[in-house]
């Protein structure tokens, strides 16, 4: 009986860690299909296994896992594979590093938690005793990524800075998004226009300098809304972030701008992705730049959610 309980605990931890560490683009295909969370967690485990060794079938992977557990119980330990750091210049959809971000919970028998790792980090709770616990199912501890204990991934703001998207970083400072993108646990996809694209939009709106915007309360409000319009929250209920493999077929994607404002995306046979908004459109020039728990898509134009000066 004790051995059975131990095996169940190890299995639960393996599935939870796989779900936390699996790439969001991998699990998103199950979100699009509307599959239930329990299956999605198992699917995430399959995705992670496939990313490590794509030629192995799921059956072989599960068999190998059970064999490894038996070998470990017999004292035959294996060294885990090395997971290298993923940088913004790496290929699109590169596998994330090996850190987990498991939400704190009273029980691992229920999938839903009251508050996420991002919530806890935003409230400054990372140093609280319950956040520093190392339960048997999560020996590395809760919320490694969100609490900044993961050295092998970048925040969304770091990626923007690395790619020289300074005007978009500036635009985000007019809303709460500027602070959130500096937090490693923020799970969104950013549609980030280039500096030249933002300057072009500012000129059409009637502004010739950053100082002119910063001294105009109305202008700051407009840019705050435009910035929010370029932030895509994950697909519910799986918290799957948007990436280019799913930006096709005139799909509608919600933004964090209030009122349920959406943008749509289409993709041609060559892989060119176009993002459409009511008053403008943009083409992706760089795709799926990986951050800790999100992605950055670089655009050649600014998306405009409604009619305004310069965008009738």
Can you tell me the mean pLDDT for 121-134?
A: 94
Q: Find residue 298's DSSP bridge partners.
A: 192, 286
- pLDDT value at residue 187: 96
Query: What is the average pLDDT value for the chain, to the nearest integer?
Result: 77
Can you tell me the mean pLDDT for 35-45?
A: 38
Confidence of residue 37 (pLDDT cuts 50, 70, 90): very low
**Which of the two residues, 11 and 213, has the higher pLDDT score?**
213
Check pLDDT > 50 for residue 193: yes
Whole-number Å distance between alpha carbons of 262 and 256:
9
Contacting residues for 33 by C-beta, under 8 A, at least 6 apart: none
CB atoms within 10 A of CB 200: 16
Confidence of residue 112 (pLDDT cuts 50, 70, 90): confident
Secondary structure tally for the chain: helices H, strands E: 11, 7
Can you tell me the mean pLDDT for 170-182?
A: 97
Check pLDDT > 80 for residue 228: yes
The tokens 């933004």 sit on which residue?
255
The CATH class for the domain spanning 156-299 reads: mainly beta
Burial class (CB within 10 angstroms; exposed 0-12, middle 13-18, buried 19+) of 217: exposed
User: Is 256 in contact with 233 (CB distance < 8 Å)?
Assistant: yes
The tokens 């969100």 sit on which residue?
146
**CA 90, 96, 99, 102 torsion-angle sign:** positive
Helix H or strand E segment including 108:
none
Provide the CA 254 distance to its chain's centre, in angstroms: 15
- pLDDT value at residue 88: 52
- Determine if residue 75 is left, alpha or beta; phi over 0 gives left, psi from -120 to 50 gives alpha, anything else beta: left
**Which of the two residues, 275 and 25, has the higher pLDDT score?**
275
- CATH 2.30.180.10 boundaries in the chain: 156-299
- pLDDT value at residue 74: 42
Confidence of residue 90 (pLDDT cuts 50, 70, 90): low
- pLDDT value at residue 153: 85
Torsion over CA of 300, 301, 305 and 306, rounded to 10 degrees?
A: -160
- pLDDT value at residue 108: 84
- pLDDT value at residue 279: 94
> Considering the chain, what percentage of its residues have pLDDT values greater than 70?
69
- pLDDT value at residue 22: 41
- pLDDT value at residue 300: 97
Check pLDDT > 60 for residue 70: no
Helix H or strand E segment including 78:
none
* Phi, then psi, of 203 in degrees rounded to 5: -65, -40
Whole-number Å distance between alpha carbons of 167 and 133:
40
Check pLDDT > 90 for residue 125: yes
């Amino acid at each position: 009986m004790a051995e059975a309980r131990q095996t169940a605990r190890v299995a639960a931890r393996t599935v939870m860690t796989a779900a936390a560490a699996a790439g969001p683009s991998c699990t998103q295909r199950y979100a699009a299909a509307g599959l239930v969370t329990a299956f999605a967690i198992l699917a995430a485990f399959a995705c992670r296994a496939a990313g490590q060794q794509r030629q192995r079938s799921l059956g072989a992977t599960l068999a190998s896992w059970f064999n490894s557990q038996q070998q470990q119980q017999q004292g035959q330990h294996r060294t885990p594979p090395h997971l290298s750091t993923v940088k913004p210049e790496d290929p699109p959809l590169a596998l994330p590093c090996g850190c987990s971000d498991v939400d704190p919970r009273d029980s691992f028998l229920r999938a839903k938690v009251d508050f996420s790792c991002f919530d806890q980090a935003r409230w400054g709770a990372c140093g609280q005793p319950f956040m520093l616990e190392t339960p048997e199912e999560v020996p590395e501890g809760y919320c490694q990524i969100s609490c900044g204990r993961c050295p092998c991934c970048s925040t969304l703001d770091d990626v923007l800075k690395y790619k020289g998207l300074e005007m978009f970083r500036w635009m985000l400072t007019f809303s709460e998004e500027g602070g959130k993108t500096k937090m490693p646990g923020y799970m969104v996809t950013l549609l980030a226009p280039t500096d030249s694209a933002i300057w072009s939009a500012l000129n059409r709106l009637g502004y010739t300098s950053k100082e002119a915007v910063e001294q105009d309360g109305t202008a700051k409000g407009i840019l705050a809304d435009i910035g929010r319009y370029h932030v895509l929250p994950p697909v519910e209920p799986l918290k799957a972030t948007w990436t280019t493999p799913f930006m096709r077929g005139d799909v509608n994607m919600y933004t964090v701008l209030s009122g349920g404002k959406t943008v749509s995306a289409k993709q041609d046979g060559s892989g060119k992705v176009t993002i459409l908004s009511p008053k403008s459109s943009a083409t992706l020039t760089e795709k799926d730049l990986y951050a800790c728990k999100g992605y950055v898509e670089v655009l050649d134009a600014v998306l405009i959610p409604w009619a305004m000066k310069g965008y009738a």
